Structure 1
């Protein structure tokens, strides 16, 4: 079945892009370049290796994935995160941020002390923080204050907790395979 699909794909690709009225761009990506046979490789004019994101790209990815989520990270925190995630793919960073987004919720659920802000919101805090009141989320909800509970902003410690457990999914051996394939059949894009 896979051979029939491949044959049909090759037949359909043969005529793509040769009609002056209709321009079609075929873009494909793979993590297993050596599994492509020469007939498929021949159909693609360019075979471009896009390396893992560099320090600046990783730093930017953290900012993009956090978006407008409340946080108290500084520019140096983002630089520190980028340094700690050497070897991470864009997908690895996305998974990391998604996991971090749950940290404030976990803190709120586990909190035993809250502080009431000037605008009437209840934020989890530590027992030594001035104005801390010993209570939990369930007690506040029982008093009808559930809608006034707000999770704390994301901090660098939240990222540290997640990164302590998370490792990159791309190994050095995987990178060597891609680099070897690029030397044989492709080209490198440096500033992508």
Structure 2
């Protein structure tokens, strides 16, 4: 039952901030006070010390704002309380954000095994084995969870925050847009500053598709996969409609090199040329996906290896059981021996690419290409 007190407090805060931002301080003040009462009641029943700490912090922030408004009202003032525009924005942002240290375990999330595995590896591997992520191989820092309502997206995000022992910032983009239209740049800056102050932290933005901005002083670069589905009035708002075609042979060969970067590999120029021929019809995104999968092939080999060999400089790399001086040992056992920093994945090979390409297909069909070519002839121009 006590969770209802927090929900009611948050609802009162939202109303209070709405009146606060509109300058209706006589209405905002009692709403803040009602919210504070519900927060106080919630604190009486809350057992989780981390959540109690987060609620106490929020209580203090809203109490400070309520006192500022009361001072203005007592002086008979009607203008904005003197806490500065940025402070007001942050106070309002605080009200729309649920900040907590969640306690949702992986086992609490039903199903979603592949999603859990991907997120778990993205959270844990970079922490335990930072040396795996060198060159172009970087830990993932942003995820889009998509699917029908009620499938557990926010719950899964909380499990990630629990696993990473991170502060969880949950905010609805539609709520933000309705309250702070025109303040998007300051809003994002404040949101990430708050997250940095509570680092390590995770920001979960719900309803991301509802964000939309329109500003005459801003250069807009828009993209769509379905140009024919755009309303004609919207298309007319763009001065140029430029077609971005699939990459040709040379472009694909270059893309493989760029995406691979200085990540440790043993591919030759002939190998890159072969990959370019092998991926006729692939988009730049397809090649990026391919390389991103390949980048982690050595990591998976290392994670699942049963045999390792120690090099002359004390580095342990995975190997086959028949390799000279091979030791039957797992990654976890080497870690337990205090050798985590001495383990490195093998270089990327052409075989790694062949393995990934065997299961990957171009995402753009011939029918899709025909639609884009026809649209280009009617409305666009070659890029």
- What range is the shorter-chain TM-score in? 0.7 to 0.9
Q: Which residue of 2 aligns with 1:61?
A: 255
SS of match in other structure, 1:43: coil
- 1:48 maps to what in 2? 242
How far apart are residue 153 of structure 1 and its match?
Answer: 0.9
Which of 198, 213, 230 is residue 36 of structure 1 equivalent to? 230
Classify the secondary structure of the residue corresponding to 2:322. coil
Deviation at 1:175, TM superposition (A): 0.7
TM-score of the aligned structures, taking structure 1 as reference length: 0.80
Comparing 27-36 and 165-174, the one that deviates more? 27-36
Look up the match of 2:345.
Answer: 151
Structure with the largest fraction of helix = 2
Distance 1:26 1:66 in 2: 30
- Unaligned stretches of 5+ in structure 2? 1-211
Provide, for residues 8-30 of structure 1, a one-character-per-residue CA deviation record: whole Å limited to 9, x for no partner.
x9xx78xx5xxxxx7x6443222
Cα offset, 1:156, TM superposition: 1.0
Partner residue of 1:142?
A: 336
> Which sections of structure 1, spanning at least 5 residues, go unmatched?
1-8, 17-21
Describe how 1:1-192 pairs up with structure 2 within 5 A. 25-189=219-383
Partners of 1:138 and 1:37 in 2: CA distance = 56
Pair member with larger Rg: 2
Higher alpha-carbon deviation: 48-57 or 171-180 = 48-57
Aligned residues: 171
Cα distance, 1:50 vs structure 2: 1.5
Q: TM-score, normalised by structure 2?
A: 0.42
Larger RCO: 1 or 2 (CA < 8 Å, sep 6+)? 1
Shift of 1:138: 2.8
Runs of 4+ in 1 over 6 A off after TM superposition: none
